[in-house]
Amino acid sequence: MSQPDSDPAPTAPAPPARPDSPAPTALSPQQREAYYDPAVADRPELLVSDLHFRPQRRTLLPIVLFVATCLSTFWVGCTHWEPLAPQYAGSWNMVGRTIAANWAIGFDYMAAVVAILLTHEMGHFLQTVKHRIPASYPLCIPVPFTAIGTMGAVIGMDGMRADRRQIFDIGIAGPLAGLVVAFPVLWLGVTRLDLGQPYAAGEMQLNLPLAAQWMMQWAHPNQPWANSEWVALSQLNPYFMAGWVGMLITGLNMLPISQLDGGHTIYALFLQRAHTLARVFLSLAILYVVANLNEAVMWTPMLILVIFMGIHHPRTANDRVPLGPVRWAIGLASLVIPVICFPLLGVRT
């Protein structure tokens, strides 16, 4: 329906351009169509500098990686977390027999660990949707030749659009959501644990984070092994292993450095002072790995990766936005997460 000829309706004046910036560019029809904010999309004067595009999320890659991670974690569960055992090399018959015999263990481990990973990443993702920060769907990382079958999951996002409060919400939501699933899964595994059974000499053992040690002491107060700091692979059950992986991934992500979840959190709390904390943490981490080289050497690749990523968190879109007392309380409390979740010594044989 066309409007009758009349004097044009007055329009809101465009915001003045900064003297040191180029003149703002009006939107093309294609850009206007892509604009998704209904509160301002009908304004006659929209500028390119105002654009918030609808995220163009790919779906095929997340689905492929999700299926691959399910298969990867299912397989390592079927092998009792020893996917590189020599009997599987070149023997499809042995692979088939192993899956047929242990499919229930593989399925339980797969379901538990994937639930933890997806809950963690959906915590991040839903906050990006809430704050309208462009982000990808969660991308799982399958690694079928390691004992845990995965390297976790990630989302890609345009973090430079997020202000201080938004980056805090996005960073902290993943670990908190993941722990809501990881703690019950770990508890279920602890209640089914029996460290009284013998294990072979030279067998790989997992170091227990403080959270797992406390659960063992609570669930098995009368057992002499309840104070153990190590669990051998042959003593594991799928829920305990999935819970341990959840603790590992959450503890790693909450380390206060770079653009890890913990890096987002401490930057939102302390802003530029977080850079000093990150440098102190990295120095202590390097000293710790060197002092415990035989057992903590597995953390060396992680340290190298963090250094290449850059140990400092970039500025947010607006560092002046206040967090408020509730976010401050949650943020300070979250600093204990790596302390209770991270298995310091990793694995040993």
In order, the DSSP letters of 69-80 are: HHHHHHHHHHTT
Q: What percent of the chain has pLDDT over 70?
A: 84
What backbone phi and psi angles, to 5 degrees, belong to 249? -65, -40
Residue whose structure tokens are 């993702």: 125
Nearest to 80, CA basis, from 295, 247, 234, 274: 234
pLDDT of residue 8: 45
CA distance 203 to 301: 23
Lowest pLDDT segment from 9-18, 175-184, 202-211: 9-18
pTM: 0.81
Confidence of residue 326 (pLDDT cuts 50, 70, 90): very high
pLDDT of residue 213: 94
Residue whose structure tokens are 């462009």: 134
pLDDT of residue 55: 56
Is residue 331 scored above 90 in pLDDT? Answer: yes
The two tokens of residue 40 are: 């301002």
Q: What is the mean pLDDT of residues 241-252?
A: 95
Confidence of residue 328 (pLDDT cuts 50, 70, 90): very high
Is residue 156 scored above 50 in pLDDT? Answer: yes
pLDDT of residue 41: 47
Nearest to 248, CA basis, from 212, 215, 277: 212
Q: What is the mean pLDDT of residues 83-99?
A: 82
Is residue 153 scored above 70 in pLDDT? Answer: yes
Lowest pLDDT segment from 25-29, 228-232, 279-283, 307-311: 25-29
Measured on CA atoms in the order 165, 167, 173, 179, is the torsion positive or negative? negative
* End-to-end CA, the chain: 77
pLDDT of residue 20: 46
Most confident of 50-59, 96-105, 119-128, 276-285: 119-128
Is residue 329 scored above 90 in pLDDT? Answer: yes
pLDDT of residue 300: 82
Is residue 260 scored above 80 in pLDDT? Answer: yes
Is residue 116 scored above 90 in pLDDT? Answer: yes
Is residue 12 scored above 50 in pLDDT? Answer: no
Q: What percent of the chain has pLDDT over 90?
A: 46
